[in-house]
Structure 1
Amino acid sequence: MAREIVIAPSILSADFAKLGGEVEAIDRDGCDWVHLDVMDGHFVPNITFGPDVVAALRPHSDKVFDTHLMIAPCDPYLEAFAKAGSDIITVHAEAGPHLDRSLQHIRSLGKKAGVSLTPSTPESAIEYVLDKLDLVLVMTVNPGFGGQTFIPAQLDKIRAIRKMIGERPIHLEVDGGVNVDTAGLVAEAGADALVAGSAVFKNGDYAKNIAAIREAAMAGVAA
């Protein structure tokens, strides 16, 4: 049976002046999850928003809030993002010395736990925490900005992680440079959740863009 594909538009590429409306629009136009990129200007060279914005957006959609914390340290903020309405909270393996503790904390808050790897971090970094994961996020660009070019070398990492996951109920997500040209490649490599920012929001036709990315990904799964 072919894997189902999750499309998670990143609101990093949305119009921040009308963010609630943008979330409503992607919800209406066929997204599966809403991807929330949280950046601190320290772990990554950009600043986006915090838990108060997540809480303000929560009433605008019932879809899964997929919160990607590109912040360090992350542990002091996990409870705030959980209370704000995040459904999945993903932390970076590189963001602190106690990844296992961070994942346990997320789950203790009643949320699904994810871990993200930057392009230079090998998949071995998550080998011993697989039993505490609901999601693995592979960065296919260097985190910090939207609109970057996909790094093809990460396809091997995606394949390796898919093999590591095996039959475990863990989503394998990809974030960075995902569009109609790369969606099939990452899906063929084993990804089942695709984050897309500019490829969704680029021209205002969100429904068409989401459908095109999904179609490309499903073609990759079938390949």
Structure 2
Amino acid sequence: MTVKIAPSLFGADLGNLENQIKAVEDCKVEMLHIDVMDGNFVPNIAFGPDQVKMLRGKTDLFFDVHMMVVEPDRFIPRFVEAGADMITVHQEATTHLHRTLQLIKSFGIKAGVVLSPGTSIKTLEYVLDDIDMVLLMTVNPGYGGQSFIESSINKIKDLSEMIKGYNIDIQIDGGINLETAPKVVEAGANVLVAGSFTFKGDIAKNISALISAVNFK
């Protein structure tokens, strides 16, 4: 299994963003995780479509856009136009999940579903044919730097069993570090979002250490 690192720009130094993106590119990562927050679904605000469009002009990395917004359908076309390569939406934030996934797919990009810690994976049972990735939050959404919720390990294992036979990635976001990363990969995850860990200090050293911790090349 190939494991991907997805540095989260929410953990970056926004005053030095272009240089930090370049440092991430130099580490040969394939994707950037971009958190979109509306101050309503979560108690924070971050990265609108104008900011994503600006970032798109700075890098060719795959843009993994995590929408933490109420009624995401309103904004999906704007984020596609801004340069998103994948959009993930919270199951809890949309009334008609299948319709929302079809909307994302209609633009020719990848679609995923995010589950907050208290949301059951059973809510995905009837949309597995329509998703490219499931993002499991291992902290409550909205803030960086939170502690990993240990009970998430069993949830990852259960999801890994549920999606056997499907070409679906399992992404983990929240509290990823040298201790938790090997646990989630062993449980079945193959995409790791790392914000606070990636951008605190030496970016290249941090990403290299994370790669070594999960023993992939």
TM-score bracket for this pair, using the shorter chain length: over 0.9
Residue number in structure 2 paired with 1:99: 97
The offset of 1:218, in angstroms, is 2.9
CA contact (8 A) 1:7 1:32 kept: yes
Residue number in structure 2 paired with 1:215: 212
The one-letter amino acid of 1:86's match is A
Once the two structures are superposed, what CA deviation does each residue of 1:101-126 show, in whole Å capped at 9, x if it has no partner?
Answer: 00000000111001000000010011
Residue number in structure 1 paired with 2:121: 123
Instruction: Report the 3-state secondary structure (helix = DSSP H, G, I; strand = E; otherwise coil) of the residue aligned with 1:121.
Output: coil
Residue number in structure 1 paired with 2:58: 60
Report % sequence identity: 49
Across the two proteins, how many residue pairs are aligned to each other? Answer: 216
What does 1:137-216 correspond to in 2, within 5 Å?
Answer: 137-203=135-201, 205-216=202-213
- Contiguous gaps of at least 5 residues in structure 2: none
Which segment is superposed worse, 58-67 or 36-45?
58-67
The offset of 1:20, in angstroms, is 2.4
Instruction: Report the 3-state secondary structure (helix = DSSP H, G, I; strand = E; otherwise coil) of the residue aligned with 2:45.
Output: coil
The offset of 1:214, in angstroms, is 1.7
The offset of 1:211, in angstroms, is 1.5
Once the two structures are superposed, what CA deviation does each residue of 1:60-83 show, in whole Å capped at 9, x if it has no partner?
Answer: 221111100000110010011111
CA distance in 2, matches of 1:210, 1:161: 26
Once the two structures are superposed, what CA deviation does each residue of 1:149-189 show, in whole Å capped at 9, x if it has no partner?
Answer: 00010111111111111121111000000011100000000
- Contiguous gaps of at least 5 residues in structure 1: none
CA contact (8 A) 1:11 1:197 kept: yes
The offset of 1:128, in angstroms, is 0.7
CA contact (8 A) 1:158 1:190 kept: yes
The one-letter amino acid of 1:134's match is D
CA contact (8 A) 1:23 1:57 kept: no
Cα RMSD of the aligned pairs, angstroms, is 1.0
CA contact (8 A) 1:30 1:211 kept: no
CA contact (8 A) 1:13 1:146 kept: yes
The offset of 1:18, in angstroms, is 2.4
